[in-house]
Amino acid sequence: MATVADVMTRNPRTMSPQDTLADAAKVMDELNVGVVPVCEGDRLCGVVTDRDIVVRGLARDADPKTCKLTDVMSGHVRTARQDDDVDEVLSEMANAQIRRMPVVDGQDKLVGILSIGDIAAKSPEDEEDVAMSLGDISSPAEPDRQQASQEQGSQKQGSKGSKQQKQT
């Protein structure tokens, strides 16, 4: 039985809740990652993803140089423990559709991060389980069609109004 400690990435780079979106984006670029744990001291308080920066920050016109991670990060984060069974954690990741999971010790101090890639690279015997889990995790989300329909309706009305103005 492989444990999370066997395959996780140890001592991941962390950021503070008071760091900015721009700081996080630079760290993600430097490390070629899409998630950074957010800690107060050595205690995990959330994670920020590239998607958080875009959807919760930039799409809402937040200034990346002044907007703090605490304003966009996911605060209630699922975590794994070092001695958890990799297969069980992989199943939980698939059910929750998450690709990465912070790893904490008994005092909830961050000790690592586990990704689907870590499991795939370090547990070749679990290749089939990883492939199935990745398929579950990658299931497309349903767009908010009601909002999209309302926006399209507004755009159509706006374009009809401008055509009518041109005709007069």
Q: Is 136 exposed, middle or buried (0-12, 13-18, 19+ CB in 10 A)?
A: middle
In a domain, 150, yes or no: no
Q: What is the pLDDT of residues 96-147, one digit of tens each?
A: 988 899 999 988 899 999 998 888 776 555 555 545 544 544 555 566 555 5
Average pLDDT rounded to a whole number, residues 79-92: 93
- Tell me which residue range forms the domain holding 93: 4-137
In a domain, 115, yes or no: yes
In a domain, 72, yes or no: yes
In a domain, 51, yes or no: yes
Please count the structural domains in the chain: 1
In a domain, 159, yes or no: no
Average pLDDT rounded to a whole number, residues 57-74: 97
Q: What is the pLDDT of residues 13-64, one digit of tens each?
A: 999 999 999 999 999 999 999 999 999 998 999 999 999 999 999 999 999 9
d(CA 96, CA 47): 15
In a domain, 114, yes or no: yes
In a domain, 165, yes or no: no
The enclosing domain of 36 has a CATH number of 3.10.580.10
